[in-house]
Structure formats: structure tokens, C-alpha cells
């Protein structure tokens, strides 16, 4: 079913945001960003389906760094693929496919995407981000959200 722009506007702020809708059994995160990029990250043994609702987003996938690959030395992550997804396109990501980052390649246009995670492990347990130049992981204990239940963090919620 197509998503109308007015149906998401009440729950999306046009900055780099993550919005959690935890009433569902799966975590749902929407992002609005322009000329921005996520950190390269893992998915904490979860499945992620992403649909582009507005604009275009570029996904860069990387191989997992290993001690054998790096020979105990810091070295850049190996790029597996790069692909641009446009409005209404859907993609899938999991740790079995590697690491990835999502980037809005357009300097002035916003992009909005819907991410469905099952199970929502990163929101509960955290995930790893990776330095692309060295392959060094950094543990993020819990994902933070700009808003929950359609309200900005810190605001009164139902």
C-alpha cells in the first residue's frame, strides 16, 4: 500500500532522526536526512527490510573485518557493493550479508525510509559501528531515538 506524504508528516522531523514505533511487534524507524550518512554498522543478528518513501538513498555494503584478513593490522573495510535505491524500492539486510551504511547522496533533497527490524535486537541490546578506514569496531550499547510514540524524546508520552 502506498504511503501518502501527509500520513508521515506528523511523525517525522526533517533532520537526521530515528523514530521508534514500539506498539508493533517489530521496531519501525523512519529517517529524514539530506546529504548525510549513517555510520557503518552491524544488525545484531536481526533482519532489516528498508523501503524508500521519498528521495533516494545509497547503500554501501562491506565485508566483515577478520583477524585473518587484517593480519592484526588496521586496514580499510572491503566494499562488497554500492547501490542507489529510489522511491518505492525495497531492500533487505542482515549480518550474514555483511556490514553497511546508508547515505543520502543528494545535497539539498530529503530522503525518507522505513526500516523494519525483526527481532529489534539493536534497539534493545545495541550493535557495533565500524571505522571504514581501520575496520575497528565500536560497541553502541543501545540505539537511541529522536522520538517514540510519535513524540520527541523527553516529551510527555501516552
Tell whether 41 is in a known binding site: yes
- Classified as helix, coil or strand, 158 is coil
The CA-to-CA distance between both ends of the chain, in Å, stands at 28
Can you give the C-alpha Rg of the chain in angstroms?
16
- The grid cell for 130 is 565500524
Yes or no: say if 13 and 32 are a contact pair by the CB < 8 Å rule: yes
Alpha-carbon distance 17 to 40, whole Å?
16
φ, ψ for residue 38, nearest 5 deg: -70, 165
Binding-site sequence positions for Fe cation: 41, 43, 100
Binding-site sequence positions: 41, 43, 100
Amino acid at each position: 500500500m502506498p504511503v501518502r506524504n501527509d500520513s508521515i508528516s506528523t511523525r517525522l522531523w526533517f533532520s537526521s532522526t530515528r523514530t521508534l514505533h514500539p506498539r508493533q511487534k517489530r521496531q519501525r524507524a523512519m529517517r529524514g536526512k539530506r546529504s548525510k550518512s549513517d555510520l557503518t554498522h552491524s544488525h545484531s543478528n536481526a533482519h532489516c527490510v528498508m523501503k524508500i518513501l521519498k528521495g533516494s538513498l545509497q547503500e554501501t555494503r562491506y565485508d566483515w573485518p577478520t583477524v585473518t584478513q587484517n593480519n592484526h593490522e588496521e586496514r580499510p573495510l572491503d566494499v562488497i557493493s554500492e547501490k542507489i535505491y529510489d522511491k518505492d524500492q525495497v531492500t533487505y539486510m542482515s549480518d550474514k550479508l555483511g556490514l553497511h551504511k546508508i547515505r543520502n547522496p543528494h545535497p539539498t533533497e530529503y530522503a525518507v525510509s522505513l526500516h523494519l527490524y525483526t527481532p529489534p535486537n539493536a534497539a534493545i541490546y545495541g550493535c557495533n559501528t565500524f571505522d571504514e578506514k581501520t575496520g575497528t569496531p565500536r560497541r553502541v550499547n543501545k540505539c537511541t531515538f529522536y522520538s517514540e510514540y510519535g513524540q520527541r524524546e523527553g516529551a510527555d508520552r501516552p
